[in-house]
């Protein structure tokens, strides 16, 4: 059976660099960092002092005040980004097409903030004072649920929870839903609002977070002096659409999604498998699924977390997949500017990959000052680069050994 072609027709984002795609992208290309001193929690209580927080976000710009109060921030971000993506796509959802338009939005940890607040209420005031909305505000699938309700999308409806691979798995799985004919369009990506007391405590306890107190230099992927990731928050949502469906309504097309690979390390709950072998297999599967040769890939938006093992092993995985071509690839970690959005990372990084293809400009990896001999590839250091590219991949790897890769190509009819 011939695979249906799938294209990207809309993008929407809420990020530490801006509450829309244009502001975020302009800051990414300018090499601006969205990281600052942590304000959502008392940073004096933690060794990690910085975070990439969403700034000046008003949910009531997108959602009725009463409804917004029944949503955790991770759901508010997802609803806002989805509304922007659907508007950008010019996609009108009505009774005729609602059954063929689905939603697949993931979150790594869901409504952690709601859980903490309501547990405090329970301890201090008893179960009767716990909000009746506690459970539907907390569960990770509620971003998908609320987006579906608000937009009236009645098609394939799901939520992925694969830690830091969540956003990329969500997009890859939504791509397959359309490709096999189960939907004509999917609203998909990732969302996260993890800057809470317990989440920061947990990541500090397992020494994953950077303890560099300088916000602007704390996230430094592939740099010899990297010391952990910086927690970020936000949402990245794209509209995927079957090509003929998009063309029939005259939709603008950003890029084509052509491949998806997902693997498990079967190795360790937090550490990546030696030499990134699971990530290498995900890249190989995705490139094969795309019908491409490794040497046809020109750009990688790396997982690039700024942790010791991830950056080293992702570099080794790239060398394993691409051989000599690894040294001709452009690679960047936009987490140097956005921080690590956990389950939302793959959503926002897919948008950056698509825009790199469309605009022929590659985002930089900022703070790359001291070369690491074990990270010796071209990471587009410190300044964006104008470069025409035809095919690119986005990588995401998560706790639990989840690896996901998606492949995008410049759209040609």
Asked if residue 306 is part of any domain, the answer here is yes
Same domain? For 76 and 199 the reply is yes
Asked if residue 254 is part of any domain, the answer here is no
Cα–Cα dist 398/343, whole Å: 9
Q: Is the pTM of this model over 0.95?
A: yes
Same domain? For 25 and 148 the reply is yes
Cα–Cα dist 163/293, whole Å: 29
Mean pLDDT across the chain: 97
- Give the strand pairing for 50-51 and 299-301: unpaired
Cα–Cα dist 81/76, whole Å: 9
Same domain? For 383 and 326 the reply is yes
Query: What is the CA 330 to chain-centroid distance, rounded?
Result: 19
Tens of pLDDT, residue by residue over 179-203, are 999 999 999 999 999 999 999 999 9
63 pLDDT more than 80? yes
Asked if residue 29 is part of any domain, the answer here is yes
Helix %, strand %, coil % for the chain, to 5? Answer: 40, 20, 40
Asked if residue 96 is part of any domain, the answer here is yes
128 pLDDT more than 70? yes
Asked if residue 291 is part of any domain, the answer here is yes
2 pLDDT more than 90? no
Confidence (pLDDT) at 354 = 98
- Report the percent of the chain where pLDDT is more than 70: 100
3-state secondary structure of 203: helix
Q: Which residue has the tokens 């990541």?
A: 203
Q: How much is the average pLDDT of 62-84? A: 97
| Residue 164 annotated in active site | yes
Same domain? For 196 and 329 the reply is no
Query: Are 403 and 256 in contact, with CB atoms under 8 Å apart?
Result: no
Query: What single string gives the DSSP state of each residue in 233-297?
Result: -EEEEEEEEEHHHHHHTT----EEEEEEEEEE--S-SSSPPGGGHHHHHHHHHHHHHTT--GGG-
Tens of pLDDT, residue by residue over 247-299, are 999 999 999 999 999 999 999 999 999 999 999 999 999 999 999 999 999 99
Same domain? For 234 and 213 the reply is yes
Same domain? For 297 and 243 the reply is no
DSSP H/E element including 345: helix 345-359
Confidence (pLDDT) at 413 = 85
Same domain? For 310 and 400 the reply is yes
- Give the strand pairing for 234-242 and 361-362: unpaired
How many domains does the chain contain in total? Answer: 2
Asked if residue 91 is part of any domain, the answer here is yes
Q: Give residue 189's domain range.
A: 6-248
Same domain? For 92 and 219 the reply is yes
- Report the percent of the chain where pLDDT is more than 90: 99
* Band of residue 134 on the pLDDT scale cut at 50, 70, 90: very high
Asked if residue 1 is part of any domain, the answer here is no
Q: Which of 219, 248, 277 is the endpoint of a domain?
A: 248
Asked if residue 136 is part of any domain, the answer here is yes
Q: How much is the average pLDDT of 72-82? A: 98
- The DSSP letter of residue 96 is T
Q: Which residue has the tokens 């025409």?
A: 388
Same domain? For 388 and 332 the reply is yes
Same domain? For 300 and 360 the reply is yes
* Band of residue 1 on the pLDDT scale cut at 50, 70, 90: low
Indicate which residue of 159, 164, 204, 375 is catalytic.
164
Same domain? For 201 and 321 the reply is no
- Find the CATH number of the domain harbouring 310: 3.40.47.10
Same domain? For 238 and 379 the reply is no
């Amino acid at each position: 059976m011939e695979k249906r072609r799938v294209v990207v027709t809309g993008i929407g984002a809420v990020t530490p660099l801006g509450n829309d795609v244009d502001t975020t992208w302009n800051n990414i290309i300018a090499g601006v960092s969205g990281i600052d001193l942590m304000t959502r929690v008392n940073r004096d209580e933690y060794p990690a002092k910085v975070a990439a927080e969403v700034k000046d976000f008003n949910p009531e710009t997108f959602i009725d005040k009463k409804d917004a109060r029944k949503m955790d921030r991770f759901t508010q971000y997802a609803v806002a980004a989805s509304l922007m993506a659907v508007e950008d796509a010019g996609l009108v959802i009505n009774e005729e097409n609602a059954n063929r338009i689905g939603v697949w939005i993931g979150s790594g940890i869901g409504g952690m903030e709601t859980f903490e607040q309501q547990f405090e209420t329970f301890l201090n005031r008893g179960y009767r004072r716990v909000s009746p909305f506690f459970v539907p505000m907390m569960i990770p699938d509620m971003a998908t649920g609320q987006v579906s309700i608000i937009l009236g999308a009645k098609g394939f409806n799901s939520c992925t929870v694969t830690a830091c691979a969540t956003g990329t798995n969500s997009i890859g799985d939504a791509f397959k839903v359309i490709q096999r004919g189960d939907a004509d369009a999917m609203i998909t990506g990732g969302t996260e609002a993890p800057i809470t007391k317990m989440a920061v405590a947990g990541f500090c306890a397992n020494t994953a977070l950077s303890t560099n107190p300088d916000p602007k230099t704390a996230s430094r992927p592939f740099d010899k002096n990297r010391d952990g990731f910086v927690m970020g928050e936000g949402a990245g949502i794209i509209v995927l659409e079957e090509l003929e469906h998009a063309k029939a309504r005259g939709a603008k097309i950003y890029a084509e999604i052509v491949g998806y690979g997902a693997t498990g390390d079967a190795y360790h709950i937090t550490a990546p498998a030696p030499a990134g072998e699971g990530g290498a297999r995900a890249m190989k599967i995705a490139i094969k699924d795309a019908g491409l040769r490794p040497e046809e890939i020109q750009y990688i938006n790396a997982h690039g977390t700024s942790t010791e093992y991830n950056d080293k092993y992702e570099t080794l995985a790239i060398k394993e997949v691409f051989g000599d071509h690894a040294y001709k690839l452009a690679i960047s970690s936009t987490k140097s500017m956005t921080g690590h959005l956990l389950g939302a990372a793959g959503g926002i990084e897919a948008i950056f990959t698509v825009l790199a293809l469309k605009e022929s400009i590659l985002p930089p990896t900022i703070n790359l000052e001291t070369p690491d001999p074990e990270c010796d590839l071209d990471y587009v250091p410190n300044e964006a680069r104008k470069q025409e590219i035809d095919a690119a991949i986005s990588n995401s790897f998560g706790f639990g050994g989840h690896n996901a890769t998606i492949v995008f190509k410049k759209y040609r009819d």
